[in-house]
Amino acid sequence: MGLLLFDVVLCALLLTLAGAAMLSRQLVHAVTLFIAFGVMMALAWARLQAPDLALAEAAIGAGLTGALCFTALARYAGDAGYPKPKLWLPLVFVAAVSALLLYSVFQIPAQPTTELSERVAEHLAVSGVSHPVTAVLLNFRAWDTLLELLVLLLALLGARQVPSQLPLHAGWSLSVSWSRLLSPMLLLLSAYLLWRGAAAPGGAFQAGALLASGLVILRLNQQLAWLSWQNFAVRTLVLAGLIAFVMAGLASLLLPGQLVWLSWPVALAGGIILLVETFATLAIALTLALLVVGEPEQEPADA
Amino acid sequence: MLSFYLYLATAALLLGVGSLGLWRGPELLRRILALNVIGAGIFMLMVSLAYRPVLYGEPADSVLHALVLTGLVVAVSATAFALALLGRLLARPQ
């Protein structure tokens, strides 16, 4: 009963926050409400027994997306106002479509189809890790993860084609000192999440997202001057996630008895997954951080 | 059982709310936020489906969780690219 009450309150809160973000008059309110919506989504994932998603959403949905949207908001400062859009026509149409959608989701049976999860449980012993989500991501469906790293890289390369400078503000002294205090904790926590991912909720994505938010906090407080695409080491590490993955796939193809691309030999699977995850964590963290903070102002040539 | 259908309904309604925001706008930034709300609705639909085995005392479906985890990271990178394009559009001399 108590849990159902929690569910009702959480769902009502999610819908209210999303609706208010869409309908609010001012854009700054919309962005703030959307960040609160991200935090509540993390709570919903935790409730739905998806701790991996809750960890990733708390760092990505609430942290990085918020920083991204506030950066975009700063560019709207000089923008002329828009006329107030009409509400009723879209509302009627969307309400009709939502009613149809609601009707169709209620046709979904509560009895699950367990074929896939049974096969995951069956093969978990030969995957090299004991946490099923990590096994699916880095072993059974490694293609997804490889292509996802490629998508991240493409997003970064695309965003670099359209640079737009934002003036950097000097950090507030309290936030500078707090960011220095917090950053070792964030580093430690993301390393723990990475290591823990083999056996419990955690892994490359969560660790990478957490590390990225730490990097973004420090960068916004005028530290980590090396964090830029101009830096060769940063470029190498951004590419290293993809390269380590492809090399691991090629190397395991050369081993005897391996016929399928991206399938690890049982004896080495745990080590290969940890290696690939470590590079993927660094690549995800640096790519996300570069996507959020972009390029710092170019130094004058004589400075 | 009831909470499963409650989360499914929330997912469908989030899709509706996001579509409303996408239609109305009027600012482009709000339309990007609306796309993210639609994405959250789709993720919630998938995670609710993954929750079904829990109702029968089994662990949740890890394949769907892995897919949504990939989706979260792809969604944030697409958002970042969209916002970079938006920043360029706004910085253009009028």
Residue in A3, A23, A148 nearest the CB of B3: A3
Residue in B19, B68, B77 nearest the CB of A94: B19
Q: What confidence score (pLDDT) does residue B11 get?
A: 94
Mean pLDDT, each 10-residue run in order, chain B (94 residues): 89 93 86 93 92 84 89 90 86 69
Hey, how many other C-beta atoms are within 10 angstroms of the C-beta on A223?
A: 16
Q: What confidence score (pLDDT) does residue A26 get?
A: 84
Residue in A14, A53, A164 nearest the CB of B69: A53
Chain A residue with minimum CA distance to B53: A112
CB–CB of A248/A128 below 8 Å?
no
Q: How many structural domains does chain B have?
A: 1
- Which class for A67: exposed (0-12), middle (13-18), buried (19 or more C-beta within 10 A)? buried
- A267 is in which domain, residue-wise? 129-160+170-297
Share of chain A above pLDDT 90, in %: 20
In angstroms, the first-to-last Cα distance of chain A is: 66
Q: Is the pLDDT of residue A83 over 80?
A: no
Tell me what the pLDDT averaged over chain A comes to: 84
3-state DSSP call for residue B66? Answer: helix
Please give the angle made by the CA atoms of A209, A18 and A85, to the nearest 5 degrees: 125
Contact: B76, A50; criterion CB under 8 Å:
no
Q: What confidence score (pLDDT) does residue A299 get?
A: 46
Q: What confidence score (pLDDT) does residue A80 get?
A: 62
Average pLDDT for residues A292-303, to the nearest whole number? 56
Helices A204-220 and A65-75 pack at an angle, to 10 degrees, of 40
Residue with tokens 């590490």: A237
Tokens of A260: 């399928």
Q: Is the pLDDT of residue A142 over 80?
A: yes
**Any domain includes A75:** no
Contact: B83, A68; criterion CB under 8 Å:
yes
Average pLDDT for residues A29-39, to the nearest whole number? 92
Greater confidence, A49 or A162?
A49
CB–CB of A153/A242 below 8 Å?
yes
Q: What confidence score (pLDDT) does residue A100 get?
A: 92
Q: What's the pLDDT band for A138 if we cut at 50, 70, 90? A: confident
**Any domain includes A9:** no
Residues near A166 by Cβ (< 8 Å), separated by ≥ 6?
A71, A74, A75, A294, B87
Q: What confidence score (pLDDT) does residue A168 get?
A: 63
Hey, how many other C-beta atoms are within 10 angstroms of the C-beta on A16?
A: 14
Share of chain A above pLDDT 70, in %: 93
Q: What confidence score (pLDDT) does residue A132 get?
A: 83
Tokens of A92: 């009627």
Model ipTM over 0.95: no
- A72-87 burial, b for 16+ CB within 10 Å, e for fewer? bbebbeeeeeeeeeee
**Any domain includes A14:** no
Tokens of A265: 């030999």
Tokens of B28: 């482009």
Q: What confidence score (pLDDT) does residue A266 get?
A: 79
Q: What's the pLDDT band for A303 if we cut at 50, 70, 90? A: very low
CA distance A99 to A113: 26
Q: What's the pLDDT band for A11 if we cut at 50, 70, 90? A: very high
Q: Which of residues 16-75 of B touch A (CB under 8 A)?
A: 16-21, 23-27, 29-30, 32-34, 36-37, 40, 43-45, 47-56, 58-63, 65-70, 72-74
- B45 is in which domain, residue-wise? 2-91
Q: Is the pLDDT of residue A126 over 60?
A: yes
CA distance A102 to A15: 14
Write the DSSP symbol of residue A126. G
Q: How many structural domains does chain A have?
A: 1
Helices A27-47 and A65-75 pack at an angle, to 10 degrees, of 170
**Max avg pLDDT among A123-137, A195-209, B69-83:** B69-83
Residue in B1, B51, B79 nearest the CB of A48: B51
What are residue B49's phi and psi, to 5 degrees?
A: -65, -35
Q: How many CB pairs under 8 A join A and B?
A: 256
Q: Is the pLDDT of residue A298 over 70?
A: no
Helix or strand (DSSP H, E) at A122: helix A115-123
In angstroms, the first-to-last Cα distance of chain B is: 56
Average pLDDT for residues A98-108, to the nearest whole number? 90
Q: What's the pLDDT band for A137 if we cut at 50, 70, 90? A: confident
Chain B residue with minimum CA distance to A25: B26
Q: What confidence score (pLDDT) does residue A167 get?
A: 61
